[in-house]
Chains A and B, each alone.
Chain A
Amino acid sequence: MSDLPRTASSGFTLFPRLSGAAIAGIAIAIFLMAFLILPVAQVIYVAFLDARSGAFTLQNFQDFFNTTLFRESFVNSFYVSAMSVVLATIIALPLAYITTRFNFAGTAAIQALGIIPLIMPPFVGAVAMSLLFGRNGSINLLLNQYFGFRIPFMEGLNGVILVQAIHYFPFILINLSASLRNIDRSMEEAAQNLGSHGMRMFRRIVFPLAMPGYLAGAALVFIKVFDDLGTPLLLNVNNMLAPQAYLRITGVGINDPMGYVISFILVAFSVFSLWASFLFMRGKDYATVQKGGGGLSRRDLKPREKWLAWGVILLILAMVLSPHLGLLLLAFGTIWSFSPLPDGFTIQHFGTIFTQSSQYVWNTIIYAGSAALIDVVLGTAIAYIVIRTKLAGRKWLDYMATAALAVPGVVLGIGYLRMFHGIQLPFGLGQMSSFWGIIIVALAVRRLPYALRACMAALQQVSLSLEEAAESLGASRASTIRRIVVPLMTGGILAGFVTSFATAAVELSATIMLVGRSSDAPLAYGIYLYMQSPAGRGPGAALGILAVVIVALGTYLSQRIIERERARQTMTGDQH
């Protein structure tokens, strides 16, 4: 993490007029240009061309707004995104608040379990959901048998909202938790001294101070749901923008420019939403001088409150983890068809994957791990440049990186092939487009927005006076960043690492374009291979479970690190 500022500072002698931050900024801009903007532009520019003559035109955009189906899709997408944010907040808020503010056994475990919904392995996740919640899923079969009615969990837009909220609420949970941990406890202490407590203190003091984290998470959920095509497609809802773009781009031999027009509109709208969230934050200061620990430490719950808290947490966990329970049943079940539970249980599916999966597992860990590492380095650097420097156009780094959320994986994959195919790498690494390193870059670019939002939120909570103090004591800018800023951002950086890692581990849409050889394939690709045939459902689910376990372990470990860090800070809190 400290590499960037250091290389940047060594650039001083080469380019005396540019500051280290400027050089880092330019380097990041070049990276984003090369691996995001240009490849995507190579694909998406057809949106501005007359399909027949190839001349520049805005006719396609006019067609977009003249088409009833697209206008309806836009409204549906907006409605679903907004409602998903509301529902995701209702799920995430109690989990985050209880685990960060009270002495509560199992905090690390709850936080680790809370991220699992983010890991929905392709295809098998969908099958598991429909086997549990579908029209003839376990719950509805039982309801229908005993009470004679069904609940349409997964039908229409409401189904999309439910599934999206369950799937993406961890964005809010993780960022909000990191934010809550960063609040100076003396603020709460002061509030308590002045007689405020309970909900009132939460509403007036705690939540407003945690706003950067909450907004980071909420903006991610909103933009992600707006741009997500997987969930609507698995529920067969296609009257939304992202699935419309996907269906029009991926048809064999179809060259309807509307797919690219929609992609362009998705990107533009995502950047617009981000800008709107900046407007909301403008002119507010969320920094507190003291970080977390110290002062008033976690409060104890009264026994009755404790039972209540456990009840709420277990209820929420049961709801959000149910898809993974379904996945577990699928992985251990024999045949599961039109019945509440599988017909029998077996460990045979794990035996089937055992021989081939070690390659997949290593590839996944290497790809997702490297991608997440790149993401937090870039995320920290971009956050620092945007918030702490006055570079011209710095906000565009953020907009560019965030635009990646709106780019469908296939578009990025095709863009990479178009851009990098035929470039021969040195050292016998072969074609650049079929080199496994390009998969890492693709994953890093696709998951950068997650890490970036977390890093931004973390930095917003670091008080500038700490850096000024360090600099007035003679520390150079680079060493201030390394020794003061980055350590204070640790919680947020880890949150970013975890979200990037977890979601990169099950990415498929760009990867399937870029995997050159089966020995380079990650887990998600293995799941895809199995899910092409009926007999592969069990082994596919078993691989999905493997992915979930890997990510959950990684998350649990990083939670332990955060906890230990917090404990250390509490002990040495006086030093700040």
Chain B
Amino acid sequence: MNRNFTLGALALMMTSAASFADTVTVVTSFPRDLTDPFKAAFEAAHPGTTLEVVSRNTNAAVSHLQETRSANTVDLMWASAPDAFEVLKEEGLLAKVDVQFEGIPDSIGGYPVHDPDGTYFGFAASGYGIMYNTRYIEANELPVAKEWEDLKRAEYNGHVAMSSPSRSGTTHLTVETVLQGEGWDQGWATWKWISGNMNTVTERSFGVPDAVNSGATGFGIVIDFFGLASKASGFPVELVYPSVTAIVPANIGIIENAPNPEGAKVFVEYLLSPAGQEVLLNPAIMRLPVNPDVYANAPEGFPNPFSEEFAPGAIEFDVDESGLRYNLVNSLFDVLVTYRLDDLRAAVAAVQEAEAVQAETGNEEAAALIAEARALIEAMPITEEQSLDASFTQVFTISRAEPDTEVVGRQAEVEQSWDSFAVENYRKAKELADQAAALN
């Protein structure tokens, strides 16, 4: 059996070697629901060309490309996470190719669609939204949360989930959007109050829709196609777009030194052509085309990010600012929220309880204690200025740091100081809130 297998493998290698020139190899984190329709449509439009799809999660795909750069076998990288493309680009793993397309604007709702340097291209857009399980909220008698602000309310305590921004590039954009939209301190306060209501911060971005679909949690902060595709598969879930949403492009880039650069370019041009864009309207895919004209053929109720009513509160997203503090924001979120979720939850629950009591008694002293507790929870170990100071942010990207920047401190050291700051503040906040609750 083993020998047969070897022979079979040999035969396969030979055939794949023979048809090498006509094979385009793409490594992707996308599910089969997305890649299969594209493979079929592309191969029909270009007879004789085969699209070989290798699936890896984003982390594995990036590591694989980094480790195999000396003898690269992959033509294209096809994934959502913009950060993964930034890393590949910085390391010179993406080729700069003059790809021809038309009818696609440079930005949607303040977010650039393509890499300005032309190394990767957005082929679809996605918005961020709140996904909820209808059975769950009915059983728990919860109203629908429509805005990020809603999720801060006490009634949602223990009913919310999201993935960590350090684990999901798309979640990161949502976190950064709120930070830019509401300002550094206010934005972080929002995230802390929402996180205090969370029952989990997942390690995989798909863990959130999974939890909402199962009914393990009521509300999930997710990228829209997870919600839309879950609903299309029959799960009792709905998705709402808050008025401030991040528009996240899904990208494709040609790998430097690709075995079949011509074929790779053909595939990218196909993706960006009207015919390729129409494939996105397939109900199992549910990603938003970046060519506005394609929406003419969209089914009823398909969200259109180019329309007036879509996310009216969209902000002008500052890409440079976001890029500069990318890893710092991730690390800060993990230290203050992900790793100390229990402490944060305890503090937030105590404040919520004290507020409920105080609202009935109207005790002034309690109100003062609560205000103090709230300030402690919201306090940040660093200011916005520090978050944009290169000598500080490069602590988190040490090996890619600019040679002429003086970098101060080590990541572990900085994280330890943030950690003690957070633990101590959350503990004190809980103490004060408990005191306030006792004062009725």
User: A: which residues have CB within 8 A of B?
Assistant: 51-52, 59-60, 63-64, 66-69, 127, 130-131, 134-137, 156, 233, 236, 238-239, 243, 247, 250-256, 258, 334-339, 362, 366, 370, 410, 413-414, 417-418, 421-422, 427-431, 433-434, 436, 512-513, 515-520, 525, 528-537
Provide a sorted-by-A list of 6 A–B residue pairs whose CB atoms are within 8 angstroms.
A68-B416, A69-B416, A127-B214, A366-B2, A517-B52, A535-B233
Q: How far is the CA of A255 from the CA of B398 in the complex (A)?
A: 7
Is B420 positioned at the interface, with any CB of A under 8 Å from its CB? yes
Is B413 positioned at the interface, with any CB of A under 8 Å from its CB? yes
Q: How far is the CA of A427 from the CA of B70 in the complex (A)?
A: 21
Asked whether, in the complex, the Cβ of B81 is within 8 Å of the Cβ of A252, the reply is yes
Asked whether, in the complex, the Cβ of A52 is within 8 Å of the Cβ of B214, the reply is no
| A533 in contact with B56 given A233-B203, A427-B10 (CB within 8 Å) | no
Asked whether, in the complex, the Cβ of A533 is within 8 Å of the Cβ of B229, the reply is yes
> Residue on A with the closest CB to B136?
A338
Asked whether, in the complex, the Cβ of B1 is within 8 Å of the Cβ of A366, the reply is yes
Pick from B32, B62, B64, B419: contact of A536, CB below 8 A: B32
Asked whether, in the complex, the Cβ of B410 is within 8 Å of the Cβ of A434, the reply is no
Q: Which residues of B contact A370 (CB under 8 A)?
A: 2
Q: How far is the CA of A338 from the CA of B32 in the complex (A)?
A: 27
| A338 in contact with B133 given A51-B410, A255-B398 (CB within 8 Å) | yes
Q: Which residues of A contact B12 (CB under 8 A)?
A: 519
Q: How far is the CA of A250 from the CA of B330 in the complex (A)?
A: 13
Q: Which residues of B contact A516 (CB under 8 A)?
A: 54, 73
Asked whether, in the complex, the Cβ of A518 is within 8 Å of the Cβ of B397, the reply is no
Q: How far is the CA of A522 from the CA of B2 in the complex (A)?
A: 15
Q: State which size class the interface on B falls in.
A: 35 or more
Q: Which residues of B contact A59 (CB under 8 A)?
A: 410
| A238 in contact with B339 given A338-B133, A518-B55 (CB within 8 Å) | yes
How many whole Å from A338's CB to the nearest CB in chain B?
Answer: 3
Stretch from B82-90, B244-252, B297-305, B346-354 forming part of the interface with A: B82-90
Q: Which residues of B contact A336 (CB under 8 A)?
A: 214
How many whole Å from A349's CB to the nearest CB in chain B?
Answer: 12
Asked whether, in the complex, the Cβ of A335 is within 8 Å of the Cβ of B206, the reply is no
A-contact 0/1 string along B26-50, CB 8 Å cutoff:
0001111110000000000000000
> Residue on A with the closest CB to B70?
A422
Q: Which residues of A contact B415 (CB under 8 A)?
A: 67, 69
A-contact 0/1 string along B318-330, CB 8 Å cutoff:
0000000011001
Asked whether, in the complex, the Cβ of A254 is within 8 Å of the Cβ of B235, the reply is no
Q: Which residues of A contact B209 (CB under 8 A)?
A: 534
Asked whether, in the complex, the Cβ of A337 is within 8 Å of the Cβ of B213, the reply is yes
> Residue on B with the closest CB to A235?
B200
Is B242 positioned at the interface, with any CB of A under 8 Å from its CB? no
Asked whether, in the complex, the Cβ of A513 is within 8 Å of the Cβ of B64, the reply is yes
Asked whether, in the complex, the Cβ of A417 is within 8 Å of the Cβ of B64, the reply is yes
Q: How far is the CA of A243 from the CA of B412 in the complex (A)?
A: 16
Nearest first, the 9 closest Cβ-Cβ pairs linking A and B are A338-B215, A417-B67, A532-B31, A63-B412, A253-B87, A533-B31, A534-B230, A535-B233, A338-B135
Q: A63-B412, A255-B399, A422-B71 are in contact. List 20 more A-B contacts (CB 8 A).
A: A247-B167, A252-B62, A252-B83, A254-B166, A256-B411, A335-B235, A337-B236, A421-B70, A422-B70, A428-B14, A430-B13, A433-B68, A512-B56, A517-B52, A533-B31, A533-B33, A534-B226, A534-B230, A535-B284, A536-B33
Q: Which residues of A contact B234 (CB under 8 A)?
A: 334-335
Asked whether, in the complex, the Cβ of B139 is within 8 Å of the Cβ of A236, the reply is no
Is B199 positioned at the interface, with any CB of A under 8 Å from its CB? yes
Q: How far is the CA of A528 from the CA of B55 in the complex (A)?
A: 9
Asked whether, in the complex, the Cβ of A135 is within 8 Å of the Cβ of B199, the reply is yes
Asked whether, in the complex, the Cβ of B412 is within 8 Å of the Cβ of A239, the reply is no
> Residue on B with the closest CB to A73?
B339
Asked whether, in the complex, the Cβ of B412 is within 8 Å of the Cβ of A130, the reply is no
Is B201 positioned at the interface, with any CB of A under 8 Å from its CB? yes
Pick from B73, B83, B135, B412: contact of A337, CB below 8 A: B135
Pick from A51, A338, A362, A366: contact of B214, CB below 8 A: A338
Q: How far is the CA of A130 from the CA of B214 in the complex (A)?
A: 8
Is B382 positioned at the interface, with any CB of A under 8 Å from its CB? no
Is B243 positioned at the interface, with any CB of A under 8 Å from its CB? no
How many whole Å from A317's CB to the nearest CB in chain B?
Answer: 25
Pick from B135, B230, B401: contact of A52, CB below 8 A: B401
Q: How far is the CA of A370 from the CA of B413 in the complex (A)?
A: 46
How many whole Å from B171's CB to the nearest CB in chain A?
Answer: 12
Q: Which residues of B contact A233 (CB under 8 A)?
A: 203
Asked whether, in the complex, the Cβ of A52 is within 8 Å of the Cβ of B398, the reply is yes
Q: Which residues of B contact A427 (CB under 8 A)?
A: 10
Pick from A63, A68, A247, A520: contact of B413, CB below 8 A: A63
A-contact 0/1 string along B402-435, CB 8 Å cutoff:
0000010011110110011001000000000000
Q: Which residues of B contact A60 (CB under 8 A)?
A: 412
Q: Which residues of A contact B399 (CB under 8 A)?
A: 51-52, 255
Pick from B13, B70, B71, B416: contact of A428, CB below 8 A: B13
Is B107 positioned at the interface, with any CB of A under 8 Å from its CB? no
Asked whether, in the complex, the Cβ of A131 is within 8 Å of the Cβ of B214, the reply is yes
Asked whether, in the complex, the Cβ of A421 is within 8 Å of the Cβ of B412, the reply is no
How many whole Å from B277's CB to the nearest CB in chain A?
Answer: 20
Q: Which residues of A contact B135 (CB under 8 A)?
A: 337-339
Asked whether, in the complex, the Cβ of B166 is within 8 Å of the Cβ of A130, the reply is no
Is B9 positioned at the interface, with any CB of A under 8 Å from its CB? yes
Asked whether, in the complex, the Cβ of B54 is within 8 Å of the Cβ of A517, the reply is yes
Q: How far is the CA of A247 from the CA of B56 in the complex (A)?
A: 17
Is B63 positioned at the interface, with any CB of A under 8 Å from its CB? yes
Q: How far is the CA of A238 from the CA of B202 in the complex (A)?
A: 10
Q: Which residues of A contact B213 (CB under 8 A)?
A: 337, 534, 537
| A337 in contact with B133 given A252-B87, A536-B32 (CB within 8 Å) | yes
Is B375 positioned at the interface, with any CB of A under 8 Å from its CB? no
Q: Which residues of B contact A434 (CB under 8 A)?
A: 73
Q: How far is the CA of A427 from the CA of B11 in the complex (A)?
A: 11
> Residue on A with the closest CB to B32?
A529
| A250 in contact with B59 given A69-B339, A370-B2 (CB within 8 Å) | yes
Q: How far is the CA of A339 from the CA of B29 in the complex (A)?
A: 31
Q: How far is the CA of A134 from the CA of B218 in the complex (A)?
A: 13
How many whole Å from A67's CB to the nearest CB in chain B?
Answer: 5
Q: Which residues of B contact A134 (CB under 8 A)?
A: 214, 216
Q: Which residues of B contact A127 (CB under 8 A)?
A: 210, 214
Pick from A236, A258, A436, A531: contact of B9, CB below 8 A: A436
> Residue on B with the closest CB to A261?
B412
> Residue on B with the closest CB to A66?
B416
Q: How far is the CA of A417 from the CA of B63 in the complex (A)?
A: 9
Asked whether, in the complex, the Cβ of A529 is within 8 Å of the Cβ of B236, the reply is no
Q: In residues 94-121 of chain B, which contact A (Cβ within 8 Å)?
A: none
How many whole Å from A118's CB to the nearest CB in chain B?
Answer: 23
Q: How far is the CA of A268 from the CA of B268 in the complex (A)?
A: 48
Is B53 positioned at the interface, with any CB of A under 8 Å from its CB? yes
Asked whether, in the complex, the Cβ of B412 is within 8 Å of the Cβ of A67, the reply is yes
Asked whether, in the complex, the Cβ of A428 is within 8 Å of the Cβ of B412, the reply is no
Asked whether, in the complex, the Cβ of B338 is within 8 Å of the Cβ of A337, the reply is no
Q: Which of A59, A513, A520, A532 lies at the interface centre, i.e. has the most chain B CB atoms within 10 A of its CB?
A: A532
Q: Which of A69, A127, A130, A239 lies at the interface centre, i.e. has the most chain B CB atoms within 10 A of its CB?
A: A69
Q: How far is the CA of A335 from the CA of B284 in the complex (A)?
A: 16
A-contact 0/1 string along B198-238, CB 8 Å cutoff:
01111100100111011111000000001001101111110
